[in-house]
A and B are shown apart, each in its own frame.
Chain A
């Protein structure tokens, strides 16, 4: 019933799915970022099991050899994943910068506050400062 190329795809995709789910289970991979991976694997699984769907896509795209259509669809999903991660990284960079800036400002304000406090408490100044 399944030919060799189907079995190859099936096995590979199952391994990938298990790895992704296992990473999520171990909290090494957050659910929100794993979702696109899971959708990708599931779509590719459906296409490799259900030959008719793959033939339909192949003929629609003008691809002679149906399994090649699997690569096309797979590449599109991988591009989507990469794009998604680029956006996520950019947003991290922005947030990261804001944190660093806030940290620098708060540090300076704290330093000045500590100086002022130790000035006011006079003889106790030694105890107010950093340990």
Chain B
């Protein structure tokens, strides 16, 4: 029996987090559920604990990459075989988790990404800026890995033990999903996209504003190209 952990990064998600945890448990009773609280100012921790999740409580906000990596570090340390990530705002439907888990369980792929843009997914509505960003990075990353990637910003991912170890050594900071695709490719790890539908956010606001998106586009572009220019071996940052 493979040990599965569900990782749920959350930043000020007190309205949604309880329901998200309960939903995940309903569809994946065999999994341990870990909420990573990224320095929330609200009652995210209390709500998550009340709903029975393990809570990794970061002392201050690290940003999505640092928060998610904490989950992978925990998964690595506790010897989990599979980690599946859900957003703390309820965008990712646990009812579809099996679609991501099956290819991992039968060894088809190291990483399975839930894509909202593959054909059978529903018509996900996103803002124009976000759509542009996704398209731009989709084209760039697809060029880098010589394969069409339809949804480079999807955080709905399931990974196996090898990738848990890989992510706990090195994980990018902002929009980590985009940057990890070339990194995984170069490490010889196999990614697979499966179509999923994403729900509207249960609560909370998206963190994307026009000024921030300009910053993120520049930052992620730089990270992508720097990532390409680094040596193949991913070294630990501690020295």
Contact = CB atoms under 8 A, between A and B. Distances in A.
Main secondary structure of the interface of A (DSSP, over half): helix
B35 to A, nearest CB: 10
Contacts of A95: 238
B115 interface: no
Nearest to B70: A101
Given A97-B62, A97-B66, A104 B238 contact: no
Nearest to B69: A101
Contacts of B36: 104
Interface in A94-122: 94-95, 97-98, 100-105, 107-108, 112
B62 A98 contact: no
B57 A104 contact: yes
Given A105-B74, A105-B77, A100 B238 contact: no
Contact of B73 (A91, A105, A112): A105
A108 B54 contact: yes
Interface string B43-73: 0000000000011111110100010011001
A82 B90 CA distance: 43
A106 to B, nearest CB: 10
A102 B237 CA distance: 14
A95 B58 CA distance: 14
Q: How large is the interface on A (under 10, 10 to 19, 20 to 34, 35 or more residues)?
A: 10 to 19
A107 B54 CA distance: 11
B56 A104 contact: yes
A105 B62 CA distance: 14
A104 B66 contact: no
Interface residues of B, number: 18
A103 B55 CA distance: 12
A97 B168 CA distance: 13
A108 B58 CA distance: 10
Contacts of B237: 94, 98
Nearest to B37: A104
Contact of A108 (B55, B59, B66, B238): B55
Given A105-B73, A105-B74, A100 B59 contact: yes
B33 to A, nearest CB: 12
Contacts of A105: 56, 70, 73-74, 77
Interface in B180-239: 237-239
B59 A103 contact: yes
Contacts of A103: 58-59
B6 to A, nearest CB: 15
Given A94-B237, A101-B69, A101-B70, A108 B56 contact: yes
Contacts of A102: 73
23 contacts: A94-B238, A97-B62, A98-B237, A100-B59, A100-B60, A100-B62, A100-B66, A101-B58, A101-B62, A101-B73, A103-B58, A104-B36, A104-B56, A104-B57, A104-B58, A104-B59, A104-B70, A105-B70, A107-B56, A107-B57, A108-B54, A108-B74, A112-B54
Interface of A: 91, 94-95, 97-98, 100-105, 107-108, 112
Top-8 shortest CB links A-B:
A104-B56, A101-B70, A94-B237, A104-B58, A97-B66, A105-B74, A100-B58, A108-B56
Given A104-B36, A112-B54, 5 more contacts: A101-B58, A101-B70, A101-B73, A108-B54, A108-B55
